[in-house]
Amino acid sequence: MTVGQGNFRYKLDDEWGRMPNGDRTRYVSMIACDAEDRIYAFCRAGEAVRVFSPQGDLIASWGEGLFLRPHGIGVSPGGQVYCVDDKAHVIRSFTFDGRPIRVWGEFGTPRIAEEEGALEPDKAAKFFAPTDIAFAPDGTMFITDGYGNSEVHRFSSHGEWEFTWGTPGQGPSQFKTVHAVCLDSKGRVIVADRGNDRLQVFTPNGELLAIMDDVLHPNAIQCDAQDYIYSTGKGQVDIRTPDGELVCRWGKRHIDQDVREQEILHRAHGLAIDSSGNLYLGDEMHDHGGFLRRYVRV
């Protein structure tokens, strides 16, 4: 059985990504894929970071007790792992095996943009419940900030703040829960404006290029090698052309006699695409255990 539509059809690989004891990886907030197609699951219970080979074998795990609430995860071009802890208001970088490198933000102390103003280059970066991070090929970082603020921050490859854009609202370049970010091969910065049910597309300098509507509650977004845009939210996966045309939508939230298990996504919160176009989804909800799933493109 397959899910999806048209040229985007997938088959669930039910055995991929199981733990050594045979159990599934659960409570997955976000997912990242590196240049070697290794999959990084950021989990809200147990060892927070779990890394799987392309074949689905667990090859690294660490981070239990380090985070207040795991949210976003990204892998830099240099192979460092960046973890976004929204409740602690910080982003941390680590080596592949979990050795800490650097912290951005002040643990437990939010920066309320409307009261404190913009970030400043000569001061330490502070956030208010940041949500996600993405990288340009040169290592430039883009951070969505997030639940508390309505901003996107650009940092240099050395981790220094360069630029911020965004304010609260529903207009162009405004955000309501800016929840995820990714870049395509042309360097466009695509932002999940979740509370406004849309994606907004910017240049790296924050200049608005396009708004893509009819995007239901986008939790996570990624681009594949052809710059198709994938998003997930409220139990469905959407796939769009680089120009925003919807070409595939699938997924359900509730089981009934006409719905197959492969289609049930409940609350898919994380998403990644590997170099072969395979799709990875993560669910972080505790009431049904969450999941990490691999859908093989067919």
Fold of 3-297: Neuraminidase (2.120.10)
Separation CA 130–CA 279 (nearest Å): 25
- Residue keyed to tokens 């951070």: 143
Q: Whole-structure pTM over 0.75, yes or no?
A: yes
pLDDT at 287 over 60: no
Domain ranges of the chain: 3-297
pLDDT tier at 152, thresholds 50, 70, 90: very high
What is the pLDDT, as a whole number, of residue 289? Answer: 62
Nearest 5 degrees, angle CA 185-CA 156-CA 115? 110
What is the pLDDT, as a whole number, of residue 255? Answer: 60
Separation CA 251–CA 176 (nearest Å): 24
* C-beta atoms surrounding 202 within 10 Å: 20
Note the pLDDT tens digit of each residue in 127-149: 999 999 999 999 999 999 999 99
Residue 234: DSSP 8-state: T
